[in-house]
Structure 1
Amino acid sequence: MTFLESGLEPNVLRAIEELGFVTPTPIQAKTIPHLLSSDQDIVALAQTGTGKTAAFGLPIIHLVHTELKTVQALILCPTRELCIQIASDMANFSKYVPGLDIVSVYGGAPIGPQIKSIKSGAQIVVGTPGRTLDLINRGVLKVDIIQWVVFDEADEMLNMGFKEDLDEILKTTPPEKQTLLFSATMPAEISRIAKKYMTDALEFSVGKKNAGAENVIHEYYMVHARDRYSALKRIADMNPKIYGIVFCRTRQETKDVADHLINDGYNADALHGDLSQPQRDLVMNKFRQGHLHMLVATDVAARGLDVNDLTHVINYNLPDDPEVYVHRSGRTGRAGKNGVSVSIIHTREKGKIKQIERILNKQMEHKMVPGGRAICEKQLFNLVDTVENITVDDQQIDKYLPVVYKKLEWLSREDLIKRFLSVEFNRFLEYYKNAPDLNAGVKEERSEGGKSERRRGKSAKGGKRGNSNMSRLFLNVGSIDKLNPAKLIGMINDFTQVRNIEIGEIDIKKKYAFFEVDSSYESTIIKSFGRHSLKGRKLNVEVAQKIR
């Protein structure tokens, strides 16, 4: 199906044809015909960047009654930036539809102009939950007769704590409306909203639930913690055309990494919670326009930042929650293009890699941090390619050439090329002249069977561990399920009915845990845990890695 065959009205087709729309994306191909012909609620699962705005926006623009100067569609999204972008996209789609008004409402901006725009007769309102609820409570935004409610990036809105606002907004809407829920993942809270506020919802899914984009390559580099920034520099230098987001854990780390990159000559900046809204807008506009090659951000600060054509997403630190990794990696490899998700890990994070691989259902490639020689070669040939493909403006440059020729006539062709390359290239040669090997864990991986690292721990009886071979196991519940070390040891005792299993390090995260046990009890523990549940969740234990 093409857009010309979709049934959309001519004024809409004219606008999207100018935007280069020819063939619908998979999620558009599923949702647009349904919305044009049915009022059944839908849950649409698709990664960010797959054309979801057009998937719900085009049919709503087609169906809205422009002669009625009342709000007929409410589109909710998690952030100011995404709100502005959706409203802008909708305005572009409806460029040739007379009488259609679209208003965006969000916090951090004066409410007066937004009230005035709604009262002037807008038919479509795009808003963040907080500001939308404020306008409803003021009696300005009347949603008791709306026909459509759209949740865009619903999982992100729940992650950001908008659950109560969404509940309050939905209570004021008519039961006969059509509800459209768009999300990248399907957590339990999304299912709750669907069951409570939607009627016989039809589910459309593009790709697997909670899975990463198919055209993203996943790589990781293993270094010691002290070498993390040096590894980031090398990754950037090995990719001269990089255009990506570097994710950090904290706002302070974000500032530090961005400052280091700027001081080292990279086009980079930071996005974090300490920035004022004007500062944030300035940074984001520079990044969108390509004036910044790397944006260093926390997950919270980057929410709602929707930028096309990113080549890389770099995890300066892996997130604790593997689903956050999926969200991060989904920011590259969009609209049929390829992207790379890079993680810089230390030697004790192999277990996290295994868990992410299970969610992605694909392997992450262990890459070696490049050495100085490889980086210098890459930069050299990138410079040569740039020179070869540069556009020369003869009219502007011709008047300077006689002086330049005279100045450089004593140089041979070979000397001229060498000096020209050295102008840009010398700093790489100098920096990487004695560059050390940053790769960690390689020797440890190759020396399996050698002397084991001494570890401290307790057995299931509470005694000290011996030196037997150990296995590191993954358990699919964590602190959110009220799991703690004492409870885990008790579960091992109770489930296996064995009281002398040696237990090493226990590492409990929010949604999962790792623990070390005597390898000879590995299969016993896996089988025994598989027969039990905790807080309604069926327990699953898998081998993360062997420890010798």
Structure 2
Amino acid sequence: MEEETKTFGEFAISEEMLSAISDMGFEEPTPIQQMAIPQILEGKDVTGQAQTGTGKTAAFAIPIIEKLDPENKNVQAIVLSPTRELTIQTAEEFSHLMKYKSGLYAVPIYGGQAIERQLRALRGAVQVVIGTPGRVIDHINRGTLKLDSVSMFVLDEADQMLDMGFRDDIFEIMNQTSGERQTVLFSATMPGPILEISKRFQKDPEFIKITRRELTVPQIEQTYIEVRERDKLEALCRFLDMNNPELALVFCNTKRSVDELMTRMQARGYLVEAIHGDMKQIQRDRVMTRFRSGSIDVLIATDVAARGIDVDDVDIVFNYDVPQDVEYYVHRIGRTGRAGRTGKSVTFVAPREIYKLRDIQRYAKIKIAKTPIPTLSDVAEVKQQAFLEKVREVMNNESEDLERYLPIVEQLLESDGEEGKEVTSIEVAAALLKMHLEDEKSSMSEEIEELQPQPKVKRSRDERDRERSFRGPVEEGTYENSGAEEGMVRFRITLGKNQQIRPKDIVGAFAGECNIPGSSIGRIDLYGNYSFVEVPLEHADKVRETMSKATIRNKELQITVATPRPERDADDFRERRGGYGGRDGGHDGERDGGRRERGDSDRGYRGERRERVERGERGERGSYGGDRRTSGRDSGRRDGGYRRDGGYGGDRRQSGGYKRDFRRDRREREHTFYD
């Protein structure tokens, strides 16, 4: 018999932690969390084997935070991660879980970030340090990081650290800690060297192994669309109107999203209800009864609440949010195509989430085809055909009482039209059809029109250069209309490639000068003598005021709110088209992540081969103490390339770009963290 699933409330954790977990949208612990959290809370050493996307970070972060002493301002826990990317993501997770815990702070330290900022952070009260091995050793050698008070030590993705050659560094760091520490080790595989570390540094560890079940993907039509967050509701309505399903399921990642979407769809007149973990069982049962009976057409649900759904007649499943785990994806789409029926699924993907879709396809061994968003004319044609079919059914149904309507039609035929024109029965039918369809069309909001990409006028390089040469003062946009993604503001600064400015320089300056997390900075586009940077709306005033007085690499700059850019064709958002931020393709994300133009480009810049190789801070040896191991392991050979979601890359096999994994516990939302 399958063991009953625990809830977070069953763990011996505080109300503050439960509130933070709830804010993050987690409804119940994953298997690795169910098994690891109690053991770590009890102070036991743990060796966990779990694949990507199982919730490993929260599995050790939750109990570590619960065991911290806020009165003790020394470093009490250290987490080693193989790459800067993982370091930043882990720090973000800690920050959110510490949300209601006053006096607790976590700081990430890694190569590529200005060491002066890390020195300032370490001089303050920091209880948790998350870092890459090379930079941790550098701080130990400087005397800026002392581990004699560390009581908890975590090796995250230990096998990857060994593959990258960090074995000696790990041993050196662990030898700096007390022998009384609690040691937690997580690894996707358990080769001999990992077991050697466990034997040497752990005491009677509890072994936990979580393996993914063999994923069986139903034979249904699986597609995805690229869509901006603000346009998802419009796109969903179009698909519903196009497919006209008897029953449809819509999945969101959080309870809040479920409630918001239900309210907005009900306002549009759709027969829709929702279920999620905050609802009582009697409420869920009532909603499910209405769904099975067809009283409602659309059911919106979270993954956890949907486990109780047992309906065979679901025509289509919509992944309104990209699922947080590949198994969730399989479970979601498995709700359609049952009992020998055909089924469909459509996944809504923002341009910056394309990597998640690739990970789903890789792990589940499936192919998800891209499909276009239905146009207004597509929807109108389907509605027209549906209306005509309904008219035919009425005419062919002998039980329908048409006799009482015939006098009205005859009256129209007998009356003269304009200027005595004779009216035919065909014209009467056409007029009625026009009235019906135009009523349908007028009910659609103007916002739907924005989903249509505007044509992009291609100009030659000479034309673009001439235009730049004769431009007058730069026109300034507004926060609401700067050409950025929703919730962001796009700024223009007067420094670019010709001034040897790199993405990392911009991130370091904006984050350091404005005291905002580097992970919150969005897309960066570098041009010859200027650049564009996106920052969250809540930081826009601070960024504008602070950076107008700041410098980047000792160069003065001017900063203005950017003007809107022309809408891109959907294909322009593919990752092969470049763009530093990772939002629309990502700098150094994949091998073909951008164009190599030497001049200005309107699609972002990937950089020449030499620039890509050197981008990862190899020159930083001299800047922070000349540790050869640090610069090699923490730097460009493995971690090059700035990404939107918070780090500086990390796969030595792909020109410095980050090898992205589908991590439920790290990628599901944009965090901020103590910096």
Q: Choose between structure 1 and 2: higher strand proportion.
A: 1
Determine which structure has greater relative contact order: mean sequence separation of CA pairs < 8 Å that are 6+ residues apart, divided by chain length.
Answer: 2
By the TM > 0.5 criterion, same fold? Answer: no
Q: Could you state the TM-score of these two structures normalised by the residue count of structure 2?
A: 0.35
Q: Give the TM-score normalised by the residue count of structure 1.
A: 0.43
